[in-house]
Amino acid sequence: MLKKEWPKHSILAIAIITTWLKTYIVYKTSFSITIENVLQEFILFINPLSMLLFIYGISLFFKSEKAKNRYMVSIAVITSIVLYGNVAFYRFFSDFITLPVLFQTENFGDLGSSAAASVFWTDLFYFSDVLVILLAIKFINVKQDKVVSSSVQRKAYYVLALAVLFFNLGLAEAERPQLLTRSFDREMLVKNLGMYNYHLYDIYVQSKSQAQRALADGSELVEANNYVRANQIEPSEDMKGIAEGRNLIVVTLESLQSFAINSEMNGQTITPFLNSLTEDEDTIYFENFYHQTGLGKTSDSEFLLENSLYPLSGGAVFFTHSGNTYNSMAESLGENGYSTNVQHANTKSFWNRDIMYESMNIDEFYDIESFEVGEGEAVNWGMKDIPFHEQSVEHMTEMQQPFYSRLLTLTNHHPFTLDEEDKLIDEYDSNSGTLNRYFQTSRYLDESIEVLFDELKEKGLYENSIIVMYGDHYGISDNHNEAMTQYLGEEVTDFTSAELQKVPFFVHIPGYGEGYVDDEVGGQIDMRPTIMNMMGIDTSKDIQFGGDLFSEEHEEFVVFRDGRFVTDEVVYAGNVCYDKETGEPTEQELCAPYIEQAFTELEYSESIINGDLLRFYDEEDGQLTTIPDVELER
Ligand code: GP9
Ligand code: MN
């Protein structure tokens, strides 16, 4: 029986196997997908299979042999087009296709003309499975069997397909935890899910946000805007325009938490240079400043910085809403005569930056391609921070001034590995290798900042710039509480954990002369209004959820992305209200009024992103653009 049936599905088997193998060969020859170990290679190998089983398997439902064959050829053609489309795109953009790029007409125009210029006859290989299937149909004599596949057979087949899918997902989860919820990199998605599954996932993510967008109209903005206006504060008069016309350099201090500043580890100073800045006459250091990022980590911090909106509760907004209209700090500075860019020695598709930066109107992105990584200059995630800063400043010498240049550091990133020669202090001695190494990489990051300052001075860029630096998010998660308890000498409770969300925030203004340590409670949401006021740009009509940290009116209320919050008196975490001073639980009433407000604030910000509501807003005159008769509160 089995023997008899085998030939019946031979075309199906041939189709699946050839498309599968072809896809794997294309992965290996037409894309540069980094493979670090055998497991990753295995995942890459099996990842086309589940989807191919599903779609080719539909042929089992066809009655006529002809229709069945025609269907399989069509699938081979469609999957080949998808694959080849990605190859063509990759040749020019070193990235995989995602729906938003197809709608960004400029991108597409570029692609069209350049792709046409280099179509080779060898590209026919990308369609080789179509040919194999056609030949198989022609020459293989499939046993003619009047009986259509039984439903039991089809069920068994789809159980197998599902099993392959879950096996693949399981391996991917083991290799890259939170791959789907965080979805940090297209390459990672393709590597773990496969090209075809990736596209389905991309379609799902993008259509979900498109649907929410389509349902939204400008009227929802009225409420959010009213809330923003009701909480709006007057920025500081003293700091207004203090850096007007200067270059603005914003440095993201990867994974740096405030506990490393002005403290020691086994008698060794962790961040000597940054410590010196806290006492520097040209620096204001904020010691009660918190990160507010969610799953989007670094990219969320960039989002907060540029827009003064909260990132999303699920997923990374850089991925899910990269097609939105934003009124970023870069855009405003651009309108005020600044050239704007981001420098980061990593692949540009990481966190979907290449696409999101276009939406935020950042003129240029110096990604890994703009840097020369010499021998010994890469570790862990990529280029080391010291050569990165040297080359970044080199780039600055060529920028049109005044510029806004944002530098994203990378060395102090989990798993915090360093080359021997860059270890300037010893490891710590806890049971967490992560924490032990963290001190060393933080020390290296600190060293690299000193290099940055020196380079700026040497290149004559220092005096006419303002340098703002902030820690993006935690480096040491709650998984290392035991080791942290040892380091801090006190148990890490929910209260401590919330306080550990403090990240450093430095405002360094060469020539300022009145530096101090500021204990104002603030968060990343406040960076945009604080910086813009110093740059002399009026943001009174912008929709921002933060406020100028230098203003007398600034409200000491920081909402974390997960709903926890901190004020100057209380910390609310794990549904318990703590006294900020003592860390002891206190009366719930002290937190009660803020609980609702924290929620409302996150909701309004989320509705703006989900509905892409800023497309209805004209920040020039603070008016809704589509519903002219709605009067906004001012
Ligand atoms: C990657 C870098 C680190 O480009 O920004 O990302 P993270 O994992 O910290 O979000
Ligand atoms: Mn980061």
What average pLDDT does range 182-199 have in this prediction? Answer: 88
The closest of 467, 533, 513 to 244, measured between CA atoms, is 533
For 49, counting Cβ atoms within 10 Å of its Cβ (0-12 exposed, 13-18 middle, 19+ buried), the class is buried
Beta pairing partners, 286: 505, 518
580 Cβ below 6 A of ligand 1: no
pLDDT value of residue 561: 93
Contact 53, 164 (CB under 8 A): yes
> Which positions are catalytic?
298
- Position 418 pLDDT exceeds 50: yes
What average pLDDT does range 162-176 have in this prediction? Answer: 93
**CA torsion through residues 323, 327, 333, 337, sign:** positive
Ligand nearest to the CA of 367: 1
Distance between Cα 299 and ligand 1 center (Å) = 7
Distance between Cα 411 and ligand 2 center (Å) = 10
For 149, counting Cβ atoms within 10 Å of its Cβ (0-12 exposed, 13-18 middle, 19+ buried), the class is buried
The closest of 303, 342, 301 to 322, measured between CA atoms, is 303
346 Cβ below 6 A of ligand 1: yes
- Position 1 pLDDT exceeds 50: no
pLDDT, the chain, mean: 92
Ligand nearest to the CA of 295: 1
Q: What is the pLDDT confidence band of residue 7, given thresholds at 50, 70 and 90?
A: low
Please state the pTM of the whole predicted model.
0.85
Report the C-alpha gap between 284 and 98 in whole angstroms. Answer: 42
- Position 52 pLDDT exceeds 70: yes
- Position 113 pLDDT exceeds 70: no
Report the C-alpha gap between 288 and 163 in whole angstroms. Answer: 50
Model pLDDT for residues 68-95, shown as the tens digit of each residue: 999 999 999 999 999 999 998 888 777 8
Q: How many CA atoms lie within 13 A of 519 on its CB side?
A: 2
What average pLDDT does range 363-369 have in this prediction? Answer: 97
pLDDT value of residue 628: 43
What average pLDDT does range 244-248 have in this prediction? Answer: 98
Here the tokens at position 284 are 């204001």
């996932």: which residue's tokens? Answer: 201
Q: Which of 300, 410, 524 to mutate to test the pocket of ligand 1 (most atoms within 8 A of CB)?
A: 410
pLDDT value of residue 4: 47
Q: How many CA atoms lie within 13 A of 571 on its CB side?
A: 24
Contact 540, 621 (CB under 8 A): no
Q: How many CA atoms lie within 13 A of 377 on its CB side?
A: 16
Report the C-alpha gap between 185 and 302 in whole angstroms. Answer: 16
Model pLDDT for residues 380-395, shown as the tens digit of each residue: 989 999 999 999 999 9
Question: String of b and e for 109-132 (b: at least 16 CB within 10 Å)?
Answer: eebeeeeeeeeeeeeebbbbbbeb
C-alpha gyration radius of the chain? 27
Contact 549, 286 (CB under 8 A): yes
**DSSP characters over 182-231:** H---HHHHHHHH-HHHHHHHHHHHHHHHHHHHHH--THHHHHHHHHHHHT
Q: What is the pLDDT confidence band of residue 574, given thresholds at 50, 70 and 90?
A: confident
